[in-house]
Amino acid sequence: MSVTLQGWKKMRSEWTVLFWVLFFFLSQTGTGVAKGSDATDVSGMVLIPEGVFTMGSSEEDILWVAKEFFSESLEWYRDETPLRKVYLGTFYIDKYEVTNAEFMQFRDKVQGPEPKFMDDPKFNKPSQPVMGITWQEALDYCKWLGKRLPTEEEWEKAARGTDARYYPWGSDPNPANANVRGLEDGNYYTAPVGDYDEEGASPFGVFDMAGNVWEWTMDWYQPYEGNQHENDLYGTTLKVIKGGSWQSNMDLARSPIRGKAIPDQRQNFTGFRCARDS
């Protein structure tokens, strides 16, 4: 079959248009939401270098917690065991928790539900961390920016560094370094993100990883490898949340603590930050 030059040019033009239509369609699938920024943008994020860090708690660590905070039971903390070395590659994590102002930009673009506590003057300031967000909504926000939620391992390394400290700033349970229960930290409800100075930051310079709001991670609440303690809550019903909140005592603001929450739960103590591969 012969094709004239003019016919060939017309066919080539039509195929070019079809190609770009298919490219645009495929580039928009797989996330569930339209992208909100350049996927290579890492501004506002901290680079966490590859290497080994110490994760979890030993039995001696748990006994310290019980003695320091007059705990009546060790069972709450035993899901943190065993203490072990974990290797992670390089990754980025947000320097601050996601704020109300940032999340509302996303919500206005995708026409999603408004966060549960946006009408509460105690929690709805633009610079306060967004709360009342389900796990899926947090994940969708991160995907919108070309990011993702951090894994539990990534979150803990970014919070405590590599030397097995209990808190981002060290092992001294100083309530002035984090927004936790009580007034010693200067805040009764959630604080604006980054409100605490460098003394409360992690070794990598990540802020608010103790207190303010618990933070969603990617992981289901499962036992660590080598954990010897039974727990009926292990499984694929609860997601791990980390860091404690403005309602927590200092034992629950430790970096190795393992909170857990139903993924579609909307609480006034749970927020998030994003991560991404390097």
Residues 36-86 have pLDDT tens digits of: 656 568 999 999 999 999 999 999 999 999 999 999 888 889 999 999 999
- pLDDT for residue 31 is more than 90: no
For residue 10, the surrounding DSSP H or E stretch is: helix 5-28
Give burial (CB, 10 Å; 0-12/13-18/19+) of 42: middle
Q: Give me the pLDDT at residue 217, please.
A: 98
pLDDT digits (tens, 9 = 90+) for 151-175: 999 999 999 999 999 999 999 999 9
Q: Give me the pLDDT at residue 35, please.
A: 61
- pLDDT for residue 5 is more than 50: no
Q: CA-CA distance, 130 to 174, in Å (whole number)?
A: 25
Per-range mean pLDDT, top range of 69-83, 177-191, 254-268: 254-268
Percent of the chain with pLDDT over 90: 75
**Predicted structure pTM score:** 0.85
Percent of the chain with pLDDT over 70: 85
Q: Give me the pLDDT at residue 6, please.
A: 47
| Contact (Cβ atoms closer than 8 angstroms) between residue 71 and residue 29 | no
DSSP 123-169: T--TTSBP-S--HHHHHHHHHHTT-BPPPHHHHHHHHHTTTT-SBTT
Q: Give me the pLDDT at residue 36, please.
A: 64
Confidence band, pLDDT 50/70/90 cuts, at residue 238 = very high
Q: What is the mean pLDDT of residues 189-217?
A: 94
Longest dimension (CA), the chain: 89
Q: In this predicted model, which residue has the larger pLDDT, 4 or 265?
A: 265
Q: Give me the pLDDT at residue 15, please.
A: 46
Tokens coding 181:
């229960």
Confidence band, pLDDT 50/70/90 cuts, at residue 188 = confident
Minimum mean pLDDT range among 77-91, 177-191, 236-250:
177-191
Tokens coding 95:
């320097």
> Domain 43-277: which CATH class?
alpha beta
Q: What is the mean pLDDT of residues 75-99?
A: 97
| Contact (Cβ atoms closer than 8 angstroms) between residue 167 and residue 103 | no
pLDDT digits (tens, 9 = 90+) for 239-251: 999 999 999 999 9
Q: CA-CA distance, 154 to 161, in Å (whole number)?
A: 10
Average of per-residue pLDDT values in the chain:
88
Q: Give me the pLDDT at residue 228, please.
A: 92
**Among candidates 218, 256, 252, which has minimal Cα distance to 56?**
256
Q: What is the mean pLDDT of residues 11-33?
A: 42
Q: What is the mean pLDDT of residues 104-124?
A: 91
Q: CA-CA distance, 175 to 250, in Å (whole number)?
A: 7
Confidence band, pLDDT 50/70/90 cuts, at residue 95 = very high
What does each C-alpha distance from 99 to 21, 43, 148, 194, 258 come to in angstroms? 36, 15, 16, 11, 23
- pLDDT for residue 29 is more than 90: no
